[in-house]
Amino acid sequence: MSDPMTLASTLDVAGLAVDLIRIPSFSHTPRQEEQVGEYIAAYFEKIGIEVNRQQVEEGRFNILAKIPGNGGPSIMLNGHIDTVPPYDMADPFSCTIENGRILGRGACDMKGPVAAMMTAMAAIKLSGVTPAGDIYFSAVVDEEEKGLGVEALIRDWPKVDAVIVGEGTDLEICLGHKGLEWIKVEVFGKKTHSGNAKAGINAIAMAGRLIAYLSDEYEPVLDKRIHPVLGQSSLNIGTIGGGDQPSTVADYCQLTIDRRFVPEETWEQVYQELVEATEAMSRKYPGFQATVSNFFEESELLPHLPFCTDEESPLVVAIKQTIREQLHKEPTVRGLSAWTDAGMIRSQTGTDCIVFGPGSLALAHTAHESIPLDQLEQSVMLYIGIALNFVEGTEK
């Protein structure tokens, strides 16, 4: 039997991260995450860790791995294995290492953190230590789009006691984040020739009035809804489109909205308030007509609700303890500005969740995505310490 920390220092987490990044798994490609999922499964199978492939769609599956424990509390290390497209990133999959950083699409979002969690699992398994409780690892698909992977994980939930989602937080403890809904507002008009424009109803012009109302009347209301950890509610109109050509009065215009909401707001309220905004426009402007719906057509998608884990929870206590032991500093605790699968896990299972990982989300989705090697290596040790400290808590 060996010390997991000592053994971890001999494992090549950087090389593992590079391997994962070099396997493209970006949005809207056939069998998107299949190759990277098989790589992860083979990695665990080689060292004797129990692995299951959880089918989500054809060619797309989650990976669930487990190190059995002795009946104490259980913990899961979770990450996603899809990425956004390369966009304008130069050499997104060559994965060079420059100035102490790994560069490439998915470096921080989130193949680097996934590699750190895999290495932590490997170190615990290879050490021969039997943890006090079960330690799980899950790698899910489709986080960057609909969240189909985490929904599948939840449907077959192993009922763990705590989850760490390893998105990049610069190794700061993020207690939670706001809810997120993508909302479609369709505005309808009456099409006519522009030479007789007054006989029609211009859906684009009507949409413009709605935009002005949301900016002038609704956003000031949201500005006052502030959570002490998660921050402020918000609304962003991300896209607008409509009309056929300049000489035709548009009979259709669509807005897409990103709505971030705090725990004091409900999912139903998010939609109802936008419906009320369209109703106010109908009363003010004759002929105004609009509908409000979820951006995705599939009605089976679960609501993306906000969450904030209690700072005194056993999970947060274990993370703080480990940071103090290893980094010899007081942990930083905050909220996260982005959405993660932790929100879905927390709202649907009630499991305590924390977002905590190496790298910075400020670089995610950008042409300069990278992760610092020192944080990547440190996170392996932290994940090992957190997992072992947590499962040594009060027995079930």
Average pLDDT over every residue of 28-34: 95
Residue 42, pLDDT > 90, answer yes
pLDDT tens across 61-76, in order? 999 999 999 999 999 9
Question: Among 310, 311, 277, which Cα is nearest to 292's?
Answer: 277
DSSP assigned state of 312: T
H helix intervals, the chain: 4-8, 13-21, 34-46, 112-127, 148-155, 203-213, 219-223, 267-284, 314-327, 341-349, 373-391
| pTM assigned to the model | 0.93
Residue 79, C-beta contacts closer than 8 angstroms, at least 6 positions apart: 110, 113, 114, 117, 138, 139, 140, 165, 166, 167, 357
By C-alpha distance, which of 20, 63, 35, 56 is closest to 149? 56
What pLDDT band is residue 393 in, cutting at 50, 70 and 90?
confident
d(CA 356, CA 200): 54
CA–CA gap between residue 88 and residue 85 (Å, rounded): 9
Instruction: Give the confidence band of 296 by pLDDT, cuts at 50, 70, 90.
Output: confident
Cα 362 vs. chain centroid, distance in angstroms? Answer: 14
Spatial contact of 67 and 135, defined as CB atoms under 8 Å apart: yes
The total of other beta-carbon atoms located within 10 Å of residue 224's CB is 8
Task: Specify which residues 235 forms β-bridges with.
Answer: 259
Tens-place pLDDT, residues 123-181: 999 999 999 999 999 999 999 998 999 999 999 999 999 999 999 999 999 999 999 99
What is the rounded distance in angstroms from the CA atom of residue 236 to the CA atom of residue 25?
A: 28
Q: Name the band, by pLDDT with cuts 50, 70 and 90, for residue 298.
A: low
Q: What are phi and psi of 197, to 5 degrees?
A: -60, -35
Q: How does residue 302 score in pLDDT terms, banded at 50, 70 and 90? A: confident
- In the predicted model, what is the mean pLDDT of residues 226-238? 97
DSSP helix/strand/coil, 348? helix
As a whole number of angstroms, the distance between CA 135 and CA 73 comes to 9
262: three-class secondary structure by DSSP: coil
**What phi and psi, each to the nearest 5 degrees, are found at residue 169?**
-125, 15
What does the alpha-carbon distance between residue 236 and residue 295 come to, in Å, rounded to a whole number? 14
Count the Cβ atoms, other than its own, within 10 Å of residue 140.
31
- Please compute the mean of the pLDDT values over residues 270-283 and round it to a whole number: 98
Q: Which residue has the tokens 């330690």?
A: 135
* Gap between the Cα atoms of 339 and 321, Å rounded: 26
- Asked if pLDDT for residue 303 goes beyond 80, the answer is yes
Mean pLDDT, the chain, as a whole number? 96
Predicted confidence (pLDDT) per residue in 348-382, tens digit: 999 999 999 999 999 999 999 999 999 999 999 99
Does the pLDDT at position 396 exceed 50?
A: no
Q: Are strands 307-308 and 173-177 parallel, antiparallel or unpaired?
A: antiparallel
Phi, psi of 106 (to 5 degrees): 95, 0
Give the Cα separation of 155 and 171 in Å (integer).
Answer: 30
181 in Cβ contact with 301 (< 8 Å): no
At 300 the pLDDT is: 58
Cα angle 150-152-157, degrees, rounded to a multiple of 5: 85
Angle between helices 13-21 and 112-127 (to 10 degrees): 140
In this prediction, residue 2 has a pLDDT band, given cuts at 50, 70 and 90, of confident
Whether the predicted pLDDT of 395 surpasses 50 = no
Task: Calculate mean pLDDT across residues 175-200.
Answer: 96
pLDDT in tens, 310-349: 999 999 999 999 999 999 999 999 999 999 999 999 999 9
Convert the pLDDT of each residue in 76-93 to its tens digit. 999 999 999 999 998 999
Strand pairing partners for 187? 253, 290
In the chain, the percentage of residues whose pLDDT exceeds 70 is 98
Residue 8, judged by CB atoms within 10 A of its CB (0-12, 13-18, 19+), counts as buried
Tell me the longest C-alpha to C-alpha distance in the chain: 85
Tokens of 165: 């989602």
